[in-house]
Copies of this chain bind each other. A is one copy, B any other.
Amino acid sequence: MASDQAPTEATTADTYEEFEDRVERISNVSNAAGVLRWDQEVVMPEGGTPARAQQLSTLSSISHELLTAEETGELLADLESDSLPEERAAIVREVRRRYDRETSVPGELVEEISETTANAHPTWKRARETDDFEEFAPVLEKLVELKREYAEYVDPDADPYAVLFADYEPYIDLETAERVLDRLRDRLVPLIDAIEDADADLETAAFAGTFDDDDQEALARDVLDSLGYDWDRGRLDTAPHPFSSGTQFDARVTTRFDEEDLLGSITSTIHEFGHANYTLGLPDDGYGTPLGEARDLSVHESQSRLWENHVGRSRPFWEHFLPVARERFPELEDVTPEEAYESANQVYDDNLIRVEADELTYHLHIVIRFEIERALISGDLEVSEVPQVWNDKYEEYLGVRPDTDADGCLQDIHWSHGSFGYFPTYSLGSVLAAQLYAAAEDELGELDDDVRNGEFDELNGWLRENVHQHGKRYTTPELIERATGDGFTADYFLEYVESKYGELYDLEEY
């Protein structure tokens, strides 16, 4: 299209329509792939793997080709040369970002990363099973190298780790993330130390026992009922690694059941509800464009953590929910809400495993990964040094030292996916959850009574209005500022945990 003349209104409208058609098409292909992945995790028979891999690879190529086609670039340039209404400008901004990223990296490199990670996964699995870091090391080296190369293509002038981080969290800059993570480390280490020293007599065994899987499933449905999950637009299934996925028309939850871990299935279900509930709050009429898509990983995680921690690990929640749980499990008859609350908030000072961590130590697990992967990408750390550094940091921050790499630096799947820069978003999500919950209470008044009465409409209405309905209309900092009146900060999270755990463990200095 000629760009040497100002576009008339009519051509802009036509151009925009063509652009939106293309964007919707890309979105539909991605959402179709989402259905295929849900199917693969939840219902697909094992034999289906080879065909599914090909189907997903084809959809991914088509979506990539549609996005990076010359026409997309021309449409973007045309639209950017004109002044657009706010909503359209936001769509163009988001597509431009993805377009620039995907066009800057050569297809062969993308393919090499994809093949390397496909092979890295079984290698990592074997290495973890046999506690043999040496086996995983060459693959990890290769992935670090490829991801560095990738970052170099995207932006040769930027800190490569910042480039990778932006794949998961495009609008919070790395300095902000680092400042937040540093504050978590500096304030949580003494808090956890104080808890260890406090020698408090908390109830830890309220949920000890064996709980039938089918009854646990019924209770998971009770949890979702109670929180207001919309079953007409969702469903609950089991998956080895719980997740939620879908669109505002159909956002599904998965969970898992372990007969010896009733609490784990409840909190995991609430966590996934938070994700799905965000998706279900995206505007219907935005479907197919970024306006109908969730903001990135930190915001998504803020929604799951808000429900899991601020609601699900609160005292009033257990006052509300324990009677529900007793209906399914009469053996909980003698447990008091306070005991349930205490058991749900036990701080494990000797735990090595991130996914089993509590609300406090969790972030030290993340900080350790952040520091290590950042040093790996910058070249300050060799892959061969990872186990030693990992173990040293665990000793320093958490006071425990893994006996094996399987329980140490081999425990997480993420690096085998080449996902460097992903981990921080977990902590940023928790931090943002606290900031949002505080803002909601600031506006609505304390929510304890609501939670105690199992009334979540007000809280959810606030989240819908201030977070969900906006999709990707605002950047993350804009969204946070509008919702909370404040910049992104760890203040609220620190205040929340210090007050909660200070009271729970009767800590004088908190």
Q: A35-B35, A35-B36, A43-B43 are in contact. Are A29 and B58 (CB under 8 A)?
A: yes
State the Cβ distance, A340 to closest chain B Cβ, in Å. Answer: 31
Per-residue B-contact encoding for A284-308, CB less than 8 Å = 1, 0 else: 1001100000000000000000000
Q: Is A50 an interface residue (CB 8 A)?
A: yes
Per-residue B-contact encoding for A34-66, CB less than 8 Å = 1, 0 else: 011001000111111111101101110110000
User: How far is it, in angstroms, between the C-alpha of A33 and the C-alpha of B31 when the chains are bound?
Assistant: 12
A59 touches B28 (CB 8 A): yes
Q: How many copies does the complex hold?
A: 2
B231 touches A45 (CB 8 A): yes
State the Cβ distance, A474 to closest chain B Cβ, in Å. Answer: 23
| Count of residues in A whose CB is under 8 Å from the partner chain | 42
> Which residues of the other chain, B, contact A235 by a CB distance below 8 angstroms?
43, 45
Interface residues of A in 380-425 (CB under 8 A from B): none
User: How far is it, in angstroms, between the C-alpha of A31 and the C-alpha of B56 when the chains are bound?
Assistant: 10
> Which residues of the other chain, B, contact A35 by a CB distance below 8 angstroms?
35-36, 39, 55
User: How far is it, in angstroms, between the C-alpha of A278 and the C-alpha of B158 when the chains are bound?
Assistant: 56
State the Cβ distance, A162 to closest chain B Cβ, in Å. Answer: 34
User: How far is it, in angstroms, between the C-alpha of A230 and the C-alpha of B33 when the chains are bound?
Assistant: 26
Q: Is A160 an interface residue (CB 8 A)?
A: no
Interface residues of A in 202-242 (CB under 8 A from B): 230-235
B287 touches A47 (CB 8 A): no
> Which residues of the other chain, B, contact A45 by a CB distance below 8 angstroms?
231-235, 250, 252
Q: Is A25 an interface residue (CB 8 A)?
A: yes
State the Cβ distance, A60 to closest chain B Cβ, in Å. Answer: 11
State the Cβ distance, A221 to closest chain B Cβ, in Å. Answer: 14
Q: Pick the residue among B32, B48, B61 that contacts A36 (CB under 8 A).
A: B32
> Which residues of the other chain, B, contact A33 by a CB distance below 8 angstroms?
32
Q: A36-B35, A54-B287 are in contact. Are A250 and B47 (CB under 8 A)?
A: yes
> Which residues of the other chain, B, contact A249 by a CB distance below 8 angstroms?
47-52
Q: Pick the residue among B29, B51, B58, B248 that contacts A247 (CB under 8 A).
A: B51
Q: Pick the residue among B29, B57, B62, B250 that contacts A51 (CB under 8 A).
A: B250
> Which residues of the other chain, B, contact A62 by a CB distance below 8 angstroms?
25, 29, 62
Q: A58-B29, A62-B62 are in contact. Are A47 and B233 (CB under 8 A)?
A: yes
24 contacts between A and B (CB under 8 A): A24-B58, A25-B61, A28-B54, A28-B57, A29-B58, A32-B32, A32-B33, A32-B55, A32-B58, A32-B59, A35-B35, A35-B36, A35-B55, A43-B43, A47-B249, A48-B246, A48-B247, A48-B250, A49-B249, A50-B249, A50-B287, A51-B249, A51-B250, A52-B250
- Nearest 6 A-B pairs (CB), nearest first? A48-B250, A47-B233, A28-B58, A51-B249, A47-B232, A32-B55
Report A's interface with B, CB cutoff 8 A: 24-25, 28-29, 31-33, 35-36, 39, 43-52, 54-55, 57-59, 61-62, 230-235, 246-250, 252, 284, 287-288
